[in-house]
Amino acid sequence: MRLQSPWTPRLADIEANASERLVCALADDIVEGRLKSGDRLPAHRQLAWQLGIGLGTVTKAYAALERRGLVSSVKGRATFVAILQAHGQQLIDLSSNVPPAMLTSRLLARTLAGIARKIDADHLNLYSPPAGHLEHRRLLARWLETLGIAVEPSHLVLTGNARQAISLAFDLACGPHGVILTERLTYPGAIALARRKGYRMQGVETDAQGMLPEALAQALGHLAAATGKVVYLTPTLQNPTTATMGAARRQAIVEVCRQAGAWIIEDGVYALGSALAPALATLAPERVLHVNGLSKSLGPGLRIGMLTLPAEMHGAAQEALQDIPLGPSPLSCAVVEDWLSNGVIASIQQDLRHEARRRTGLAAELLGETEFISHPDAYHIWLPMPRDAADRVAQAAVQMSIRVTAPESVMVDRNEPMAGIRLCLGGPSFEELTQGLTRLSNLLKNKPGSPA
C-alpha cells in the first residue's frame, strides 16, 4: 500500500504562475523543516487535482525542485524530499551580507558530474590570459545582458571576486592624487580598500534614492583641477541603506559626472538578476566602470568578479593585470556556463527574490515600531541611529550571541555623529533569523544606555 504524503498541498501567495508558486511553497516547507528528509511528495496527478492545476504544471515544478537538489525522484515509486545536511551555529551572525543558501549538495554533484565531460583541460594546464579566457568573458557578457548591460567581451575583465574588481577599478580611475566621492555610508569593503591603498574617500549626502546630484556637483566643484575625480556608488539596493535610484536620478548623476569629467565606478552586485532601472553603464558606457559578481546573485562560494571598462581603459587594465592576474577559477566558470544554459541561475535568482521578501517581511513583523529602512529585494536592512547609540547596540548584541555589522565599518567619516546598524538577513536559517530578530527587538525597545 502506498504511503500518503505528509504535505498539505498549497500554492505560495506570490505574484507568479502556478508552477512557480508551487515551487516556492514546497521549497519553503522543505527549507524550514515542515517537510523532513525522505518525506514523500504527493503523486503528480493527485496534486494537480487537489490544487486545480494542470498535470504539466506539477511536473515542471517537481523538475525545478529536483534541479535545485531539494527533492529526488525514484522511477516507479514517487518523489521524495532529498536528504539535506543540517547546519547549526552557536552565534547568530547578522553581519555578513550574503544571500540565503539556495545551493544544495545534490545540485552541485549533478553539475560537477556534467561539466567533467565538457571542461577544457587547457584551462587548468595553462595560465589564463590577464583579463580571463575569451569564452569565459563571452559567457559572463551573456549574464550581464540579463541585467540590461550590453558589453563587448573585449571590454570585460574577469576577477576572482567583486572586491578585486573594485580594487582594480580604483587603481585604474584614481591615479596618484585621486579622490573617491561616495555615499557617506557605503560598502565596508570599499572603505577598507581605499584606506589601505591610500586613496582619499569623501562622503556625499544622500536621500531615499541614494546620492544627491546637487551635493555631488558641489563636492566635485571643490576638487582641484589636477585631482583625479572618481565617483563610487551603488545605485541599486545600496549597502548599507538599501536606497535605490530611479531612472531620473541615475541620469542626473551621469550628467553631473560628465560635466565634471569624473569617472564613475558603479557597484551592481545587488541587482538580483533583474535591474530595477537602467544601469549607469548603459547610460554612460564611455565613463562608467561597472563592477559585478556572482556571490550576491547565487552564493558566496561562487567567486567570480567582473569589471566592464570604457574602451580607453582596456590597455591600462591589461598592463596592470600582467603584474597581478586576478582571474576566476575555470571550474567556477564551467559551473556558471552549465547553470546559465539550463535555467538554474534564473530559477535560483527568482527564489532569492522571494526569500528576500519573506525575510524583510519577518523583520517588519518582529522589529515592530523600531525605525528601519528596507527594500523587499534586499538581504539587509538599515536601522539609522546616532553613532553612540549604534555602538552600544552592537556591543549589547554580542552579549546576546548576535553579531551585527560594526557601525564604524560603513562610515566614510569616522567622526560623523549619525550612523546606524546594518542587519544582514540572508546568512542565518529562517529559524535562527527569527530568534535573532526577536532578541534584538527586545533589546531595541530600551536601547542600552538610554533612560528607562
Domain that holds residue 68: 18-81
The pairing of strands 418-424 and 380-386 is antiparallel
Domain annotation covers residue 8: no
**How do residues 177-201 score in pLDDT, each as one tens digit?**
789 999 999 999 999 999 999 999 9
Contact (CB, 8 A) for 99 and 348: no
Torsion of CA 380, 381, 387, 390, to 10 degrees: -90
With 0-12 CB in 10 A as exposed, 13-18 as middle and 19+ as buried, what is 426? buried
The CATH number of whichever domain residue 399 belongs to comes to: 3.90.1150.10
Cis link prior to 213 (omega < 30° from 0)? no
Residue with cell 577598507: 192
- Clarify whether residues 304 and 157 are in a common domain: yes
Query: Does residue 96 register a pLDDT over 60?
Result: yes
User: What confidence tier does 274 reach under pLDDT thresholds 50, 70, 90?
Assistant: low
Say whether both 61 and 142 belong to one domain.
no
Same domain membership, residue 355 and residue 331: no
pLDDT digits (tens, 9 = 90+) for 349-385: 888 889 999 999 999 999 988 999 999 999 999 999 9
Same-domain status, 331 and 367: no
Q: Which one of 292, 312, 342 terminates a domain? A: 342
Q: Select, from the ranges 192-196, 198-202, 214-218, 319-323, the one with the highest average predicted confidence (pLDDT).
A: 214-218
Helix (H) or strand (E) holding 292: strand 288-293
More confident residue, 331 or 22: 22
224-236 mean pLDDT: 87
pLDDT tier, 423 (very low <50, low <70, confident <90, very high otherwise): very high
Is 426 part of a structural domain of the chain?
yes
Residue 452 has pLDDT above 50, yes or no: no
* Mean pLDDT within 331-356: 87
Q: Are residues 352 and 333 in the same domain?
A: no
43: pLDDT strictly greater than 80: yes
Point out the domain boundary residue: 315, 342, 369: 342
Predicted local confidence at residue 127, as pLDDT:
74
- The closest alpha carbon to 218, from 173, 259, 279, 187, belongs to 259
What is the per-residue pLDDT across 50-82, written as a single tens digit (0 to 9) for each? 999 999 999 999 988 887 778 888 766 688 887
Q: What's the average model confidence in pLDDT over 268-274?
A: 77
* The residue count for the chain: 452
- Domain-terminating residue out of 296, 317, 342: 342
